[in-house]
Structure formats: C-alpha cells, structure tokens
Amino acid sequence: MFDLIEDNIHRFKKIVFVTGAGISQESGIPTFRGKDGLWRNHDAMRLATIDAFYDNPKLVWEWYNERRENIFQAHPNAGHKAIAELEKYAEVVVLTQNIDGLHQKSGSSRVLELHGSIVKIKCSVCDYKEEIFREISKLPPLCKCGNVLRPDVVWFGELLPQEVWKNAINFANNCDLMIIVGTSLVVSPVNTLPIYAKQNNATLVEINPEHTVMSENMDIIIRNTSAESIPKLVSLFKNKS
C-alpha cells in the first residue's frame, strides 16, 4: 500500500487530512463506537445531541466535564506529530471532526475544527462565548443572561459553522491527496468531503484498522492504527525531498 503512495508521490503537493476520533484513540481519548461509546451506560451518540442537553443539561455537563479532564491531560501521539511534520514537505490542511485540540498542540498550523472545540463554551440563547480551561464546578453553568451555557461543539443534527465548512469544501475541492484517518465516515456532512476531493481527481487514502462505509471508494487502504501508519507515510515524503 505504501508503495502505491511512493510511486505517485511527485503528484501530491496539496494534501488534506480528514480526521476523526480514531486518531486520538492512541492518546487515550475514547471514540464514540463500540465499548468506548458508553459512559455510565449512556450511549455517547445519544448524549451528544441537543435533545439530551435540554432533557438533562446537568448529566450532559457531567459527561463533558469528564471528557474535558481527559482531553486536557492528553498528549498528541505519533500520528498527530507526523501530520505536523509533513508541513515541511507539502502543503497540508487538517479538517478535523475532533474537539480535542491535539492537532494544534502537535504543531499543525492549518487546522479547521469542523465540530467546534471542547475548551469553548457558549450561551444556549444569547451571543456570549468564552474559552474555559479549568474544571466547571457548578453544573449546569449559567450565563449572565440567566440561561444555560453549553459546550461550543456541534452535536448530532446541528449545523456546522458555515464559514469553516465552506473553507473545508474549498480545500477538499483543490487537493490532490486526501488522507482519511480514524473516522467511521458515518457523520454527515463531513463524510461528503471525499466526494469533493474525488471531483478533483484526488487520490483517497483511508487509514483505519476497521472497514468503513466508504472503504470501497478508497484508492488506497491502510488497515492499521494512525500512530503506526502516519509516520511511515510521512517518511516517504521526507525521503523524496
């Protein structure tokens, strides 16, 4: 699989990574799938919704407080670091569904956060927004306007920040290599990004230990973890430079 990338490496100048929860799994941050997707017997996919928040904001905040603590202690792994290093050899943009900030921590300079960020908090009613790095003690936290504050993340069923999404499509439309890492590709609209890339004749690479709903549409598949595979892939660019 790596030889197919190596043979075409001269064509790959504009590289887009589309990343999901799996790339941070080796940093100790659970994904939403399988046994990892349960928190106190609640399904993560159901908790990450506006309905769950309005039903029980305290419960959803307790979950986010634990996620915040876990994420604040996590470090970028070899996969994140290799993506940052690739900027020395090619034009690289990271389109991430992750809210953990680990790409930025590892030194990637162009990261579009499609689903927001766990450090950001916003009012569920007014325009108030802020970044909070400490633990939030009184749950649910309230805004000065009296309404409930919520994590500034995109929950299932919510719209993506439109300016960020427009830019993401633009990068996908113009890349010549798209590397899709650690995402099940079941979350829309992010799972349409490979289609935009294909319209530009880009090569699609999937890095994931498991089959995904779009595996059949990939040009190259690497069935391994991201911390194992991305450094190998980046070393091909390093050796050619």
What does the binding site for ligand NAD look like in residue numbers (CB under 6 A)? Answer: 20-26, 29, 31-33, 97-100, 115, 181-184, 187, 207-210, 212, 225-226
Is the distance from CB of 111 to CB of 100 less than 8 angstroms?
no
Take residue 164 and report the two structure tokens written for it: 């960020």
Residue nearest to ligand NAD (CB): 22
**CA dist., res. 131 & res. 138, Å (int):** 16
Residue among 27 and 203 whose Cβ is closer to ligand NAD: 27
Largest CA distance in the chain: 60
CB of residue 20 to ligand NAD, shortest distance in Å: 3
CB of residue 104 to ligand NAD, shortest distance in Å: 12
Take residue 186 and report the two structure tokens written for it: 């079941």
The single residue listed with the structure tokens 């634990």 is 66
Neighbours of 88 (CB within 10 A): 11
Identified catalytic residue from 10, 103, 115, 211: 115
Residue among 107 and 157 whose Cβ is closer to ligand NAD: 157
Residue among 45 and 147 whose Cβ is closer to ligand NAD: 45
Residue among 106 and 184 whose Cβ is closer to ligand NAD: 184
H/E run at residue 42: strand 42-43
CB of residue 124 to ligand NAD, shortest distance in Å: 19
**CA dist., res. 32 & res. 156, Å (int):** 12
Q: Annotated catalytic, 10?
A: no
CB of residue 241 to ligand NAD, shortest distance in Å: 26
Is the distance from CB of 29 to CB of 70 less than 8 angstroms?
yes
- Residues taking part in catalysis: 115
